[in-house]
Amino acid sequence: MDFWLPLFTTFSFSLLAIKLINPIAIKAGLVDLPCDRKVHDGNIPLVGGIAIYLAVLTASVLFIEHSRDLNLYLVASALVLFLGALDDRYRLSVRVRLVAQILVSSLIIFGTEIYLTSLGVLLGNIELKLGVLGIVVTVIAIIAGINAINMIDGMDGLAGMLSLIAFAALAFLLSRVASAWYLLPFLFIASLLGYLIFNLKRHTSSSKIFMGDAGNMLIGLTLIWLMVIGIELKSPALKPVTALYIIAVPIMDMVAVIIRRVKEKKSPFLADGQHLHHLFAEFGISRKHTLIVISIVASILAAIGCLAEVYLVPEWIMLLLFLALFCVYAVCTDKAWNKIKS
């Protein structure tokens, strides 16, 4: 099969879907309104996630051999997309979102009977096997992934670029072991490129759109699920610790923000303006340069994870390195915020 045909088809479907859905979203009130945390002009259509899903769905029907596991993923992703669209339109409570995310995670896990069975060899030569507890760990991982992408989506192009980088890493790793799932991350890359043209207004005829919670939840679910698939293959495409590097920036940002909120005796689910891109803005760095810097850092970390797989770096070393990087990140950002506040 011509490798470029699925990519070009998905990219074209993404552009077409955006053009078709945009006026419908505006009439239905599926738009993002400016507020104290969202500085933009006018009401921006939240159609990016829906367009990405429709493009990937159509291309997967045409180019990927269907199986029970793929069909269950498509159903679960449609459900999480619908949940996100409802949240975009009606602002669902945290409890409703979490319960729905648990149900969707459970559906795909019990339907496919695929979940994390081990955390890898992290203690010398001892493998941390999970057994049935792996189901709970996988549900938590999916929810964490969904919300990490959601929380990092606060600036034009940021969630899209970080997602594109993560999908590129997964495409590389899954391709190395000739997994049947390898084409799915490529389809998401093509669809995200179509979305980014509108989100970043890279063409004069394009109108700005946002991904919305629908897109964040869809991408978060897909990234984590592809990682679980890759980890649980007979010939694994990646180790559990490598997953941390693939989505390092969203994970580090989410955990650091939650820790900061808890220290300040605030709800960890309370939205605020203390994410990494907000910190760049406080120091007067432009959005363009912020996007470039964060994307480069994310690319380097994802590349480290991929190279560690290629050169068989021990998992415990990779874990210690990641924890050290996170500690440096958390301490530096915490000091930066304290300096701003003072």
- Can you give the pLDDT at residue 184? 96
- Can you give the pLDDT at residue 41? 53
Domain boundaries, given as residue ranges, for the chain: 4-341
- Can you give the pLDDT at residue 137? 97
- Can you give the pLDDT at residue 18? 92
Tell me how far apart the alpha carbons of residues 200 and 100 are, in angstroms, rounded to a whole number: 31
Tell me how far apart the alpha carbons of residues 227 and 261 are, in angstroms, rounded to a whole number: 29
- Can you give the pLDDT at residue 265? 83
Is 69 annotated as contributing to ligand binding? no
Among residues 63, 11, 3, 6, the alpha carbon closest in space to that of 190 is found at: 11
- Can you give the pLDDT at residue 42? 58
Is 272 annotated as contributing to ligand binding? no
pLDDT along the chain (342 residues), means of 10: 83 93 85 58 82 96 91 96 93 93 96 95 88 96 95 90 97 91 95 93 71 94 97 95 97 93 83 86 91 97 97 95 96 90 76
- Can you give the pLDDT at residue 6? 92
- Can you give the pLDDT at residue 39? 46
